[in-house]
Amino acid sequence: MDKIPDKLSSSSEKNEVLNLEETELRLGLPGSEFSDKKAGNGFSLFGKDLKDETNNGFSQNPLKNIFSGAKRGFSDAIDGSNKWGLCINGGSEVDLGKNDVLFSPRGGGNVGVKNTNILQSCQPTTPQPVEGKKIEHGSTTPASKAQVVGWPPIRSFRKNTLATNLSRNNDVTGNSGPGCLYVKVSMDGAPYLRKVDLKTYCSYADLSSALEKMFSCFTIGQYASHGLRGKEELSECHLMDLLDRSEYVLTYEDKDGDWMLVGDVPWEMFTDSCKRLRIMKGSEASGLAPRVIEKCKGQN
C-alpha cells in the first residue's frame, strides 16, 4: 500500500530498515494525520531532528474525522458561515452503515471484518474533498479539513461570533491583528497551502517542527525515528546525515519581495519581515543548501 510519487526521490535502499506503514503516502487531510506521524518522517529543516512525536498507534485516527463527517448528510449547516467548510457528504455512496468500527478497534466480534472494508472503500473517496477545495484567502482554517457536525460541542452563536472575530483579524491589517501574524506557507509539490501564526512560535526550531508536522503527509519518511524524544539537537554526524538526505529548504519572502533563506536573522526580525513562507525543494535550492549546513555547524 505504499505509493511513492515520482517527485520525492527518497532512496529506496533505505526501505528495508523502514517501517513501510510509516513511509506510506496517504491522501489524508492535513492535520488529521499529525498525531499519527513521527517527526522524523518528514524533511528536516535546518538539519535538526525534532522531538519524536508520540504515536498513538491507533491507525484509524486519520480517518475518523473524515468518516464522522461523511455521515452527516442531514444537518451540515454550520449556520451560514461557509468558511468552515462543508462536511463531506459522500458517505452514503460508500458502505458506511456503521461508523463505530473506527472508534472501537478492539470492539468485539464483527468489527474486524468491517474495518478493512471501510478502510479500503474509503480510499477512493478521501481525495475528493482535498482536491476540490481551495484555501480561502483570509481564512484561518483550510477549508479542506473534514469537520464533524456538532463537534466540538459549541453553540452556533459562539462559533459564529468567534469566526467573525478571527477573520476580521486576518483581513484587516494584512493578516495581522492583535496577537497573531498569519502567513501563508507553501510547499513545492503540495496541492494546497497552509497558514501559520508566527506569533505562536518563539524560535526557528519551534516553527520548523510545526511546519514539519503540518506537511509531513506529503513526504516520505527518510528513516524511522532515532528515539530522540526530548532532544532538540543532534550530534554532528546525525546532522550531516540528515542534511545529505534533506529534500527541502525553508525560505521566506520578505517585505522587499526577495526570497531569503530562513534562519539568518534573529527570530524577532524574521517575524517582522516575513510575508510568506515557501518550503522549497532541495534541488531548486542547491545553491543555498551548503550554507544551511555551515550555519548549523556553526550553531552546534
Partner 1 sequence: MDPKLKKTKDSSSNSANSPDSTHSSFPFPDEVLERVLSLLHSHKDRSSVSLVCKDWYNAERWTRTKLFIGNCYSVSPEIVARRFPRIKSVTLKGKPRFSDFNLVPQYWGADVHSWLVMFAKVYPFLEELRLKRMTLSDESLKFLATSFPGFKALSLLSCDGFSTDGLKAIATHCKNLTELDIQENGIDDFGGGWLSSFSENCSSLEVLNFASLSSDVSFDALEKLVRRCKSLRILKVNKSISLDQLQQLLVHAPQLIELGTGSFQQELTPWQYEDLETAFSNCKNLQALSGLWEATSLHLPVLYAACASLTFLNLSYAALQSGELAKLVAHSPNLRRLWVLDTVGDKGLEAVGSSCPLLEELRVFPADPYELDLHHGVTEAGFLAVSHGCRKLHYVLYFCRQMTNAAVATIVLNCPDFTHFRLCIMNPGEPDYLTNEPMDEAFGAVVKTCTNLRRLAVSGLLTDLTFKYIGKYAKNLETLSVAFAGSSDRGMQCVLQGCPKLRKLEIRDSPFGNAALLSGVEKYETMRSLWMSACNVTMSACRLLAKDMPRLNVEVMRDEGSDDRQADKVYVYRSVAGPRRDAPPFVLSL
- Site residues for partner 1 per CB under 8 A: 31-32, 34-35, 54-58, 61, 64-65, 68, 71-79, 84, 91-92, 97-101, 103-104, 106-108, 140-141, 145, 147-159, 161-162, 165-166, 178-179, 196-197, 200-201, 206, 210, 214
Rounded distance between C-alpha atoms, residue 279 and residue 285, angstroms: 10
Q: Using the minimum distance from each CB to partner 1, give the nearer residue, 30 or 285.
A: 30
Rounded distance between C-alpha atoms, residue 177 and residue 167, angstroms: 10
Rounded distance between C-alpha atoms, residue 193 and residue 188, angstroms: 10
Q: Least distance from C-beta 176 to partner 1, angstroms? A: 14
Q: Using the minimum distance from each CB to partner 1, give the nearer residue, 101 or 289.
A: 101
Number of residues assigned to the chain: 300
Q: Which among 77, 282, 277, 259 is positioned nearest to 196, based on CA atoms?
A: 277
Rounded distance between C-alpha atoms, residue 63 and residue 120, angstroms: 11
Q: Least distance from C-beta 209 to partner 1, angstroms? A: 10
- Helix extents (H) in 216-288: 236-245, 267-273
C-alpha cell at 208: 520548523
Rounded distance between C-alpha atoms, residue 249 and residue 280, angstroms: 5
Q: Least distance from C-beta 273 to partner 1, angstroms? A: 21
**Burial environment of residue 255 by CB neighbours within 10 A (0 to 12, 13 to 18, 19 or more):** exposed
Q: Using the minimum distance from each CB to partner 1, give the nearer residue, 79 or 258.
A: 79
Q: Least distance from C-beta 68 to partner 1, angstroms? A: 6
Q: Least distance from C-beta 292 to partner 1, angstroms? A: 24
Q: Using the minimum distance from each CB to partner 1, give the nearer residue, 210 or 280.
A: 210
Q: Using the minimum distance from each CB to partner 1, give the nearer residue, 86 or 240.
A: 86
